[in-house]
Chains A and B, each alone.
Chain A
């Protein structure tokens, strides 16, 4: 048997699932003692080039409360053409199409290698993809120009039959009608007025008030209803021109004021528009904003420039007067969008905050993207945006819409909740636990927008009682059923069924221990922590985390922007947390403990400890924190470069050394979404702070001389170093063990 490591990897490859425990404690009591809950990271749409979707529909268990899908774990009676559901043990007849079934003639879903299988549903209308651009016009001329170009570029990337819409906003909100010839037409809304969905639809004329003329002929086409969303192939030129003609918001902004930006209403109208025209169809609302909402519902700050946007300090002091109301507004929108299966992306590019804290739920609950940059005129934005429309090996967009994730468990397990870009569908059932971890109380979640890397943390509870032991060799099973709209507009269902062994913790503790997936556990715990941090006070979360199992990761997690808000604006925190809650395990790990590579003449690049001692004069460091890529030239290297050695033929090797991290960084930049901030700095450079703030402060101004010697760079901080942390930890562990 392969090692657990291999097993874990194999499973991840195949099913996109990583459990914290790969052998499960067989009773609630034992599971509770394990501290780290039984949980898994699920990447529902993990790319599987080797997995061709099957062109038929899944076979369901006939018990109405179960409806599990036929899978390799089911026992099949080939002669009777019966199969037993492995979740509820219901015996089911195979449907007529399966009459030819036999041991040698199995359908794919019964083969073990198809523990993950994808079905393509043929029935039902195919709904087109919908992209609704919501564009802020209160931008600087350069920014607007860059944004316009990006948007125009994106039109060429969209599938020709995709529907597009355009809403622009500033002081007013304009919904552009794209169908008309001649005069360009737009519907304008006041930016200060909160409108209900009904009002918006009435005002846009989406509610068809029973026109006598039209009643005669029945609805000819389901999609005619909206003048505001048109197939790109039809209005490509129009829209390109329209975008080209977009002007900055014409309303004057007096000195000392922020432009009036009606983001709240604009989003509300976008949501209302889609709600009225294409409910339950995959759609993307893409919000491009260059500043905070300053008026109307959802305003984050007033238009007086002298009043700064709320900081963590203000929030703690309860001084952020618009925050609660705005958050409520955006939450309401997010929930509505989620209900209708629409996702909301936020592309916020500004030097100051833009209200991501308040708006975060829009992206978080609907599975939308959140991108934060300094300007639309940066490669960070441009490339990130372009990457959204990247395609997979089949030429399909790496995006899926309107997904529902349903989780089914064997009787010994119950579902405690999920943490990720999802909302609860509030489907109660026998396998739903009372205890909630993350978004709980349901066995189904809606994920309006997801891509191949979107990952959810799903938490379980072992409910088997200690006195009802599971027979040796028993296996617990979990089935994940993800129904979604593929970017090719097909409806698809991906089913992943996994099973793990039960083990009695008393007798087989060793097994359980060995099957512990430290990385997954760390990320899962971190997710829980972040989830709590979003809703609770910071210190409490830290204390909670401290009380839980603590490993190396936790040291960095405690210092990470996911839990610490110091030095981060509320927007930044929201941004970091957003990404942490949806990236897959590898990326999450990078986020928690950034990777540090060292380049030197002494050998090939090597990963080094994320420690101040790694900062040496003759090294080049490459740090990847997921959000930033930092290249740091040690003191000597920097001096050499300054002296221009790299340009001298005889020092070509130095040139190569300088080039190596750049190439590596480039590689990372190419692949990552969102594009990280790329920082090239050197010893003493102001940007070096990005590095210094991350490394373990093993040398500080306090202990520099005691540690002495040559190595490393002192960090001016009062933070405890890992050493101190560990010392405390040991003490604590020992004392608590007593």
Chain B
């Protein structure tokens, strides 16, 4: 089947968009095994090169490999020292590609075809450089590369470099050549599919290489080499230079049989390559449009004028100059912004700029904040806004002379002039009602209905709160947290507690009017934990007993949120509600829900209804919450259907988090829950936030995805935003972009800190612009793309049938690749699939996305789980979504107990599991430990303390908790 699916592929690949055919493609994508092979190829391209070469060399692949490396190496070498200064690298990347696409067509026939493999290799190198340079090129490989490179293409190389800078003209050929090589991997597969004569042989030949390729980068190069010769014309035509990528698509060899899963580009390999190349290094953000290391790569990021990729990641770091071009490529232009991302301790925290009463300096016209993109002129008396080009006077207090290169003398003293990210102290103008904000408050709202009491959850929560409240977040310099806390319990009525410090006993106030809930007390509800500690402890001790003999099963939900919101409103402060809830709110009250879990809707046009809230109560409630800076975090402990689609809406829209523990069992799940609770309470968070994304002229932010609420088209309102929440912003052209000026993005978040200060957090990012499609493809970031696709698809789930969405996803992927093939790759067999290097693993990832239970209409998956995951993904950052969609599969049995390093992950496929092994699968949400039937008894003994597999009892699994999020 799968092969057939593949077979189908060709048509699609033929017609550039291949859209019509896409479904089949999709189909085969769906099958991991198919997709897998290409990744295999990919891997080799990268880091493997170094190691692989040896093995691979014989097969011919080596040449390309080296080339790539060589180039990579070049990059690596050149870059660190000189490139960085700025333009060069960018240029190298951009221009080099630019030529491709246009040139491709013409180039096909002539140069490349004949050009020797070596040429291809060299070209590839160039390609790789471009493609890898930013993303993947491992420095280590550098050496080998050069070596090989020379051997293959002594001459070509020189031109390339030169080409790179000059750009268009020279490049064309190399690209094609590169493409060829890049394509090479692909070709094989394509060949297989098509069964074209030419390709066919190569395939056969290639196949072997791919395998090795998987192991090592080298694997892939070989392919290229092979192709080079054989494919010549066709292959060359693939500008993509994605050695690895193409291969996968090409997939099924004519050999007809099963597609070799190893021939698919391997995400693991890509990740490992990037780690090897860029891991542990310092990544300076001084260059416009440079593609950052993968999210999975651990490196130190140095802010030198652009926001760290931890804060902003883009789908592409090179925007097309025109909207036509953007339409042609159909690559989404989007940024995934995580404004409060956690920064590792070895990176510099954000500087705080305080201009006192003057407030931040802003452009008069577009209101952009002072940033490195502002150009000072006229001796420093005026500055030109990089976003709208308006010339503004420099306010007197801000004046500074310029130096000989037109930079302010204080350039390095002011974070807002030299850094990509920094914070401003906001003035009263930025505060609600022009009053300084109050410190936020946390309100804990515990469902004390029968089931929660019975399973001990209430007691657990109360116990935990006693300790966790000691760790409320606080400003760095403060001794104690300014956050006040309040407590509410509820079943079908609400109990507020007065825990004023001077009381001997807490007082309970019951509000039964759930139809129109209100706050029964003002003073004593929200208190400073330290001051009221004894009363609070008293209360937490009593709560479990107080309701011990309650047999109330019904609960309310909307009134609970309403109550918390009203309490915050009454106290005139922002805050966060922690709701611990367990059941479908069936009690008579606003937001009452009924069980509407109808499996019959699945696979119909009405399936979307399952993802929509049952009533609009929650929507308007969320609006109110956001308006009052009330963030809702929901801990759900369902034992049956609870309508997550409805319950989760407010947490989603208010920037809160939804945690779900199905069939909560104390001995199994309490650790995970407590950990989540602690993390959630302690994590960095900003309240009552408004985010605005400003762009330079020519494009603008048009669509937003995330835990946000939008009252108009520009202001992203968030009751709160924490370090885990990301907002994905899509951009569209509204004019032409200039290659010189590039594309600038400024994201400003106005928020209230945990200490009650009003601040502005600014992130700036500059991107390249190019009129060459190849540049665009070269600068793409698959992880961010997948994040975008996932969010846009999951948003669409509410309005469109899943079938349509799946089709769109497949079509768009196909279109992107087809466009590449048509415009950037050298000509190839019609059926051949060619993957740009930057998108090598895109098909695999898209397949993963399509296999997500949200998009999968399968009745056996609970509706709640689907709704939950849908909402979960909406706020994910790139790293989270990457892990979520392509979980880590760790072979535990290979773990070196003496080392702290985790074993290298393996490709996430069932076929990778072996009966002798023990595997851990983690996607950031769940962890599964997979025990092979014949896994080593000593391992089982070690983990479970039982003699053999047969003795393992699933109930005794030791508490494992997610450390990945």
Contact partners of B516 in chain A: CB under 8 A = 190, 193
* A83 CB to nearest chain B CB (Å): 57
* B518 CB to nearest chain A CB (Å): 5
> Quick one: which of A171-205 are within 8 Å of B by CB?
172, 174, 177, 182-190, 193, 195, 202-205
Q: Which residue from chain B places its CB closest to the CB of A191 in the assembled complex?
A: B518
Contact partners of B506 in chain A: CB under 8 A = 183
- Assuming the contacts A185-B508, A186-B509, A211-B551, asked whether A203 and B520 have C-beta atoms less than 8 A apart, the reply is no
Contact partners of B510 in chain A: CB under 8 A = 177, 185-188
Contact partners of B511 in chain A: CB under 8 A = 187-189
- Assuming the contacts A182-B542, A183-B539, asked whether A189 and B513 have C-beta atoms less than 8 A apart, the reply is yes
* B156 CB to nearest chain A CB (Å): 81
B-side interface size class: 20 to 34
Contact partners of A183 in chain B: CB under 8 A = 497, 505-508, 539, 542, 546
Contact A250 B523 (CB under 8 A): yes
| A213 contacts B by Cβ under 8 Å | yes
A375 to B507, CA, bound (A): 29
In this complex, which of B513, B516, B539 has the most chain A Cβ atoms within 10 angstroms of its Cβ?
B513
A174 to B520, CA, bound (A): 9
| A251 contacts B by Cβ under 8 Å | yes
Contact partners of A182 in chain B: CB under 8 A = 505, 542, 546
Contact A186 B512 (CB under 8 A): no
* B675 CB to nearest chain A CB (Å): 30
Contact B522 A188 (CB under 8 A): no
- Assuming the contacts A250-B521, A250-B523, asked whether A203 and B512 have C-beta atoms less than 8 A apart, the reply is yes
Count how many chain A residues have C-beta atoms less than 8 Å from C-beta atoms of the other chain. 23
* B446 CB to nearest chain A CB (Å): 15
* B881 CB to nearest chain A CB (Å): 45
> Quick one: which of B812-840 are within 8 Å of A by CB?
none
A79 to B511, CA, bound (A): 69
Contact A203 B513 (CB under 8 A): yes
Contact partners of A205 in chain B: CB under 8 A = 493, 512
A250 to B510, CA, bound (A): 17
A interface: dominant SS? mixed
Contact A203 B521 (CB under 8 A): no
> Quick one: which of B486-523 are within 8 Å of A by CB?
493, 495-497, 505-513, 516, 518, 520-523
Contact A184 B512 (CB under 8 A): no
A250 to B523, CA, bound (A): 7
A205 to B518, CA, bound (A): 18
Contact A184 B507 (CB under 8 A): yes
A516 to B61, CA, bound (A): 135
Q: Which residue from chain B places its CB closest to the CB of A186 in the assembled complex?
A: B509
Pick the contact of A188 from B505, B509, B539, B542 — CB < 8 Å? B509
> Quick one: which of B450-498 are within 8 Å of A by CB?
493, 495-497
Contact B507 A203 (CB under 8 A): no
A211 to B511, CA, bound (A): 22
Contact B508 A184 (CB under 8 A): yes
- Assuming the contacts A186-B509, A190-B513, A203-B512, asked whether A251 and B522 have C-beta atoms less than 8 A apart, the reply is yes
* A254 CB to nearest chain B CB (Å): 14
A184 to B497, CA, bound (A): 10
A195 to B539, CA, bound (A): 31
Q: Which residue from chain A places its CB closest to the CB of B505 in the assembled complex?
A: A183
A283 to B685, CA, bound (A): 55
- Binary interface encoding of chain B residues 610-629 relative to chain A, with 1 for a CB under 8 A from any of its CBs, else 0: 00000000000000000000
* A470 CB to nearest chain B CB (Å): 63
* B204 CB to nearest chain A CB (Å): 75
- Assuming the contacts A183-B546, A185-B510, A204-B512, asked whether A190 and B518 have C-beta atoms less than 8 A apart, the reply is yes
Q: Which residue from chain A places its CB closest to the CB of B521 in the assembled complex?
A: A250
> Quick one: which of A534-577 are within 8 Å of B by CB?
none
* A325 CB to nearest chain B CB (Å): 20
Contact B496 A188 (CB under 8 A): yes
Contact partners of A172 in chain B: CB under 8 A = 518, 520-521
Q: Which residue from chain A places its CB closest to the CB of B507 in the assembled complex?
A: A184
A252 to B523, CA, bound (A): 10
- Binary interface encoding of chain B residues 521-542 relative to chain A, with 1 for a CB under 8 A from any of its CBs, else 0: 1111000000000000001001
Contact partners of B518 in chain A: CB under 8 A = 172, 190
Contact partners of B520 in chain A: CB under 8 A = 172, 174, 188
Contact partners of B509 in chain A: CB under 8 A = 174, 185-188
Contact partners of A184 in chain B: CB under 8 A = 505, 507-508
Q: Which residue from chain B places its CB closest to the CB of A212 in the assembled complex?
A: B551
Contact partners of A213 in chain B: CB under 8 A = 551
In this complex, which of B493, B510, B546 has the most chain A Cβ atoms within 10 angstroms of its Cβ?
B510
A187 to B496, CA, bound (A): 10
In this complex, which of A183, A184, A190, A195 has the most chain B Cβ atoms within 10 angstroms of its Cβ?
A183
* A191 CB to nearest chain B CB (Å): 9
A195 to B511, CA, bound (A): 14
* B959 CB to nearest chain A CB (Å): 33
Contact partners of B512 in chain A: CB under 8 A = 187, 189, 202-205
A524 to B704, CA, bound (A): 82
Contact partners of B505 in chain A: CB under 8 A = 182-184
* A519 CB to nearest chain B CB (Å): 54
Contact partners of A188 in chain B: CB under 8 A = 496, 509-511, 520-521
A204 to B493, CA, bound (A): 10
In this complex, which of B505, B520, B546 has the most chain A Cβ atoms within 10 angstroms of its Cβ?
B520
Contact B493 A203 (CB under 8 A): yes
* B233 CB to nearest chain A CB (Å): 81
* A227 CB to nearest chain B CB (Å): 11
Q: Which residue from chain B places its CB closest to the CB of A211 in the assembled complex?
A: B551
A187 to B509, CA, bound (A): 5
Contact A193 B513 (CB under 8 A): yes
* A453 CB to nearest chain B CB (Å): 41
A250 to B505, CA, bound (A): 18
A182 to B545, CA, bound (A): 11
A184 to B499, CA, bound (A): 12
Contact partners of B542 in chain A: CB under 8 A = 182-183
* B660 CB to nearest chain A CB (Å): 30
Q: Which residue from chain B places its CB closest to the CB of A177 in the assembled complex?
A: B510
In this complex, which of A185, A204, A251 has the most chain B Cβ atoms within 10 angstroms of its Cβ?
A185
* A20 CB to nearest chain B CB (Å): 53
* B543 CB to nearest chain A CB (Å): 9
Contact partners of A189 in chain B: CB under 8 A = 511-513
Contact partners of A202 in chain B: CB under 8 A = 512
Contact partners of B539 in chain A: CB under 8 A = 183
* A551 CB to nearest chain B CB (Å): 57
* B885 CB to nearest chain A CB (Å): 48
A97 to B391, CA, bound (A): 114
A502 to B509, CA, bound (A): 66
A203 to B515, CA, bound (A): 11
Q: Which residue from chain B places its CB closest to the CB of A195 in the assembled complex?
A: B513
Contact partners of B522 in chain A: CB under 8 A = 250-252
A42 to B227, CA, bound (A): 121
A213 to B553, CA, bound (A): 13
A186 to B508, CA, bound (A): 6
* A224 CB to nearest chain B CB (Å): 15
A258 to B551, CA, bound (A): 43
Q: Which residue from chain B places its CB closest to the CB of A205 in the assembled complex?
A: B512
Contact partners of B523 in chain A: CB under 8 A = 250
A663 to B546, CA, bound (A): 58
Q: A172-B518, A185-B508, A193-B513 are in contact. List 15 more A-B contacts (CB 8 A).
A: A182-B546, A183-B507, A183-B542, A183-B546, A188-B510, A188-B520, A188-B521, A189-B512, A189-B513, A190-B518, A203-B512, A203-B513, A204-B512, A250-B521, A252-B522
Q: What are 22 contact pairs spanning A and B, CB under 8 A?
A: A172-B518, A174-B509, A182-B546, A183-B507, A183-B508, A183-B542, A183-B546, A184-B507, A185-B510, A186-B510, A187-B509, A188-B521, A189-B511, A189-B512, A189-B513, A190-B518, A193-B516, A195-B513, A203-B512, A204-B512, A205-B493, A250-B524
B residues in contact (CB < 8 Å) with A: 493, 495-497, 505-513, 516, 518, 520-524, 539, 542, 546, 551
A residues in contact (CB < 8 Å) with B: 172, 174, 177, 182-190, 193, 195, 202-205, 211, 213, 250-252
